[in-house]
Amino acid sequence: MANDKEIIDNIANKEYEFGFVTDIEMDVAPAGLNEETIRYISARKNEPEWLLEWRLKGLQAFGRQKLPAWQNFEMPPIDFQKISYYAAPKSKKKYDSLDQVDPELLATFEKLGIPLNEQKALAGVAVDVVFDSVSVATTYKEKLKELGIIFCSFGEAVREHPELVKKYVGSVVPYSDNIFAALNAAAFSDGSFVYIPKGVRCPMELSTYFRINTENTGQFERTLIIADEGSYVSYLEGCTAPMRDENQLHAAVVELIAMENAEIKYSTVQNWYPGDKDGNGGIYNFVTKRGICKGANSKISWTQVETGSAITWKYPSVILQGDNSTGEFYSVAVTKNKQIADTGTKMHHIGRNTRSRIISKGISAGQGQNSYRGLVQMGSKADNARNFTQCDSLLIGDRCGAHTFPYIESKNNSATVEHEATTSKIGEDQIFYLNQRGIDSEKAVALIINGYAKEVLNQLPMEFAVEAQKLLSITLEGSVG
Amino acid sequence: MLIIKNLHAEVEGKQILKGLNLTVNAGEVHAIMGPNGAGKSSLASVLAGRENYEVTEGEVWFEGKNLLEMAPEDRAREGVFLAFQYPVEIPGVSNINFLKTAIGEIRAYRNLPPLDAKAFLQLSKEKQKLVEFDAKLVNRSLNEGFSGGEKKRNEIFQLAMLEPLLSILDETDSGLDIDALRIVSKGVNKLRSPKNAFLIITHYQRLLEYIVPDFVHVLYDGRIVKSGTKELALELEEKGYDWLKEKEEVGTN
Ligand SMILES: Nc1ncnc2c1ncn2[C@@H]1O[C@H](COP(=O)(O)OP(=O)(O)O)[C@@H](O)[C@H]1O
Ligand SMILES: [Mg+2]
């Protein structure tokens, strides 16, 4: 019979399931970040002058910025000059069908369980796959086109819809926002672009899979989603990454814009390579995600399941500008071994009767450190604004840590802020209880974890929720006896 | 079905069971009584395989198999069920999903095909009725926010669902009002069969008026010091446990 200690050690030793490298020819920029690199990237992508200018402003802002120092972990030294800022699969052809796609690439997705196949397409998911930095396959495009929905790579949007990109890029996350946002503005490689026209309800979940594949290639994805008046869209982002020796930097930017009566639901399952059990390797995931509820009665909802990365630093936020607008943040963050997660959200209440809801579920195992950091800001005009925050921490073993940093700033007396927090441990009693009903310890932990995270998992689209549940179970397999 | 020979067990270095002998055959109901701290719950824990108990001497055979060598979940799959004195709460895990998982695991262990959704639902309905379990509680999170009585009744519902060979009820009666006690007893009586057996741990004679045992044992200081029929329970109710203590001391001197 394995005891707790053995099983806890066991999980620490569990190899990263998705650690393998695909061998596809890459087109890689020389390492280093300077004007030359930026011009190289921009030229490679045949970008218009205004975008190059914008990138260069980003580069300047990057030069002025310092690494943040307020987070609850020691920032590792990052040598920005050692990173290569551009990688694209050599074959840049777009495909009409999956048969034409590199079979090895497909095999990789298969191994990851990413159902990029006819089945998934039939299931109603349009998949815009970002393999490293350039989109290689897009499905269901025609159907979306009929509705006037634009769903394409960022690069394509720059070419086909420059007026939209020019108007909105950087409007929610300016290039000067923080050092990683500046880095992204300067060097972003590709990403996704979505535009939902007035009154259109996007009939399927839009989904993008990100994947890091080349040594020393930072990932600087940029996503821009605009939901015009009265429209609705649900967007899924998920990722896994192969085994690495060196740390890799991932600094994505996501901007969401919801007009009057529009709703955007953005879901993420993040499973970048977390490093080995001693904390070597692993992805540094510094992400800036922000949405703006521009119009009245609009709604933005972030849901995230964070299981990967050596360091996760992200605070998907909502600016509640329109009256009666709603912002939501649902998060499960898992840290094990030496993983660090410093994540949370910011809700900026500007308009009247704005509402926000924050549900954060941290899970720490091994020596993992999990911090929730939240800011709820009630502006002077935010009459009757309301926030509810529920912030729970679950500890597995006694070498991990959970921390909460809830900040509240209120300039309006009629606004209300509610905060609840709990910390609990997976008890031996709970596991034994389930054992006694014929359920082994691994399944017992999975049940308990999924029960704990249910409120968040329930927010995910059905199909994704099942995958996320599996991921949580795999991640924490054998964590307690 | 169950043979316990000279069982010694300790927890955190403290000797709790000190040479316990007990044999339970299929079709029998045994009551175990004894003062607080005698080791009744410890016996249940050792049989179910709780990790912090260490067996230092003795044997336990269940259906001809060495129970002590089995992991807790395998004991359950073999047919040992413990209705806990203090059932735990597991937030977010629905009672019914939990039972579905449990039944799935138990059936897989026995090389039985999984129950389909319809058959499972059918079974659940049937057992709810049998033990008069509130349908609302079936879909709630496992024991979360249940009253003491509801938790105990949930243990009996689970017992009914899992159909074990040996059921150990650890003070299921404490915390139940008289109506709940009657319902629980009725449920247990309906579940009695020539194929299964019950080990009923209780403080009070009261429960044994409803669930009539074939044998009554007194557990005292880690041993069974007296065994008898249901009349013994009445005697204990009347005289308490002190007279046994004297007797015990005389016996050991
Ligand atoms: N985890 C434990 N650590 C130390 N002592 C324990 C533990 N569990 C039970 N005991 C002790 O074992 C003895 C028997 O307890 P228990 O089996 O619960 O008795 P009963 O159920 O008959 O009231 C008591 O003295 C109790 O304090
Ligand atoms: Mg007891």
* Burial class, A127, CB count within 10 angstroms (exposed 0-12 / middle 13-18 / buried 19+): buried
Residue A197 pLDDT greater than 90, yes or no: yes
Would the CB of B35 count as within 6 Å of ligand 1? no
Q: Do A438 and B87 touch (CB under 8 A)?
A: no
Atom of ligand 1 nearest to the CA of B85: 21
A429-to-B38, B101, B102 alpha-carbon distances in Å: 21, 18, 17
Judge whether residue A169 has pLDDT over 80. Answer: yes
Distance CA B52, CA B40 (A): 16
Question: CB pairs below 8 Å between A and B: how many?
Answer: 83
% of chain A surpassing 90 pLDDT: 44
B27 or A203: which carries more pLDDT confidence? B27
pLDDT number for residue A20: 44
Q: For position A153, what pLDDT does the model report?
A: 83
Q: Is the CB of B40 under 6 A from ligand 1?
A: yes
Q: Indicate whether residue B38 lines ligand 1 (CB < 6 A).
A: yes
Higher pLDDT, A209 or A12: A209
pLDDT at A133 over 80: no
Please name the residue whose Cα sits nearest to atom 16 of ligand 1. B39
Note the ligand closest to the C-alpha atom of B36.
1
The pLDDT tens digits of the residues spanning B144-181 come to 999 999 999 999 999 999 999 999 999 999 888 888 89
A422 CB neighbours in chain B (<8 A) are none
pLDDT digits (tens, 9 = 90+) for A375-384: 999 999 999 9
Cβ atoms of B53 and B45 within 8 Å: the answer is yes
pLDDT at residue B64 above 50?
A: yes
For the ranges A4-13, B36-45, B171-180, the lowest mean pLDDT is seen at A4-13
Q: How far does CA B87 lie from the centroid of its chain?
A: 12
| Inter-chain touch A451–B92, beta carbons under 8 Å | yes
What is the 3-state secondary structure of B29-44? EEEEECCCCCCHHHHH
Mutate which of B10, B42, B174, B217 to test ligand 1's pocket (most atoms within 8 Å of Cβ)? B42
| Entry pTM | 0.80
Provide the 8-state DSSP code for B106.
H
Ligand nearest to the CA of B16: 1
Contacts of B81 in chain A (CB under 8 A): 436
Give the pLDDT of residue A243.
Answer: 47
* CA B43 / ligand 1 centre spacing (Å): 10
Domain holding A416, by residue range, is 2-16+19-25+27-428
What is the pLDDT, as a whole number, of residue A67? 84
Confirm or reject: Cβ of B52 under 6 Å from ligand 1.
yes
How close does chain B come to A2, measured CA to CA in Å?
9
Chain B residues with CB under 8 Å of A436 CB are 48-49, 72-73, 75-76, 81-82, 84
- For residues A348 and A67, the model is more confident at A348
pLDDT attached to residue A105: 53
Do B106 and A438 make contact, defined as CB atoms within 8 angstroms? yes
CATH for B187: 3.40.50.300
Q: Which residues contact A377 (CB under 8 A, 6 or more apart)?
A: A346, A347, A348, A349, A408, A409, A410
Is there an atom of ligand 1 within 6 Å of B167 CB? no
pLDDT classification of A95: cutoffs 50, 70, 90 = low
Cα A442 to Cα A475: distance, rounded to the nearest angstrom: 11
As a whole number of angstroms, the distance between CA A134 and CA A52 comes to 18
Which pair of tokens denotes residue A262? 């529009």
CB < 8 Å to A453, chain B: 92
Band the pLDDT of B238: cuts 50, 70, 90.
Answer: confident
Q: Which tens digits make up the pLDDT trace of A293-344?
A: 999 999 999 999 998 888 888 999 999 999 999 999 999 998 888 888 889 9
CA dist list (Å): A69 to A369, A376, A475, B49: 17, 21, 29, 50
pLDDT tier, A98 (very low <50, low <70, confident <90, very high otherwise): low
Higher per-residue confidence, A330 vs A240:
A330
Taking residues B33-37, what's their average pLDDT? 91
Nearest CA distance, A436 vs chain B (angstrom): 5
- Residue A281: the pLDDT is 78
Structural domain contains residue A453? no
Kindly tell me if the per-residue pLDDT of A395 is higher than 50: yes
Share of chain A above pLDDT 70, in %: 77
Q: In what order do the strands lie in the sheet with B80-83?
A: B80-83, B166-170, B197-201, B29-33, B215-220, B223-228
Q: What angle do CA B29, B33, B39 make, to 5 degrees?
A: 110
**B89: closest CA of chain A, how far (Å):** 7
Q: Higher confidence at residue A453 or residue A213?
A: A453
Q: Which residue has the higher pLDDT, B38 or A278?
A: B38
Is the Cβ pair A437, B76 closer than 8 Å?
Answer: yes
CA distance B102 to chain A (A): 6
Nearest residue, CB atoms, B73 vs list A429, A435, A450: A435
Answer whether residue A115 shows pLDDT above 80: no
Q: Is the CB of B34 under 6 A from ligand 1?
A: yes
For residue range A419-468, what is the model confidence (pLDDT) as tens digits?
999 888 888 899 999 999 999 988 898 899 989 999 999 898 877 787 78
On whether residue A457 sits in a domain, the answer given is no
| B54 ligand 1 Cβ < 6 A | no
Cα B63 to middle of ligand 1, angstroms: 27
Give residue A14's pLDDT: 46
Q: How confident is the model at residue A97 (pLDDT cuts 50, 70, 90)?
A: low
Residue showing tokens 């009695």: B192
Per-residue pLDDT for A81 more than 90? Answer: no
How does residue B247 score in pLDDT terms, banded at 50, 70 and 90? low
Looking at the structure of chain B, the number of domains it has is: 1
Is residue B28 over pLDDT 70? yes
* Angstrom distances, CA of residue A193 to CA of A168, B50, B113: 11, 55, 48
State yes or no: pLDDT of A13 exceeds 90. Answer: no
Say what the pLDDT of residue A246 is.
53
**More confident: A57 or A27:** A57
Max mean pLDDT among A16-25, A197-206, A210-219, B231-240 falls in: A197-206
The residue whose CA has the least distance to atom 9 of ligand 1 is B42
Average pLDDT on B26-50 reads: 95
* Confidence (pLDDT) at A257: 98
Could you say which of A436, A439, A455 has the minimum Cβ distance to residue B101?
A439
Q: Give the number of the atom of ligand 1 that is nearest the alpha carbon of residue B36.
A: 23
For residue B142, list chain A residues with Cβ-Cβ distance below 8 A.
Answer: 451
A7 within some domain:
yes
- β-sheet bridge partners, residue A359: A330, A390
* The token pair that represents B131 in the structure block: 């033990």
Which residue out of B7, B16, B33, B199 has the highest number of ligand 1 atoms within 8 Å of its CB and is therefore the one to mutate? B16
Domain that includes residue B145, residue range = 2-252
Query: pLDDT digits over B182-229, tens only?
Result: 998 999 999 999 999 999 999 888 899 999 999 999 999 999 999 999
Examine residue A129 and state whether it is found in any structural domain, yes or no: yes
Specify the number of domains making up chain A: 1
- Confirm if A227 and A199 have CB atoms less than 8 A apart: no
pLDDT confidence tier of residue A119, bands split at 50, 70 and 90: very low
For B172-209, the DSSP string reads TTTT--HHHHHHHHHHHHHH--TT-EEEEE-S-HHHHH
Whether the per-residue pLDDT at A245 is higher than 70: the answer is no
Most confident of the following: A123-132, A178-187, A420-429: A178-187
- Residue A103 phi, psi dihedral angles, 5° rounding: -60, -30
Q: Name every residue in A having a CB less than 8 A away from some CB of B.
A: 1, 3-4, 427-430, 432-441, 443, 447-448, 450-455, 481
Please, is A91 exposed, middle or buried when counting C-beta atoms within 10 Å of its C-beta (0-12, 13-18, 19+)?
middle
What is the overall mean pLDDT for chain A? 81
| Per-residue confidence (pLDDT) for residue B89, from 0 to 100 | 94
Residue B11 CB less than 6 A away from ligand 1: yes
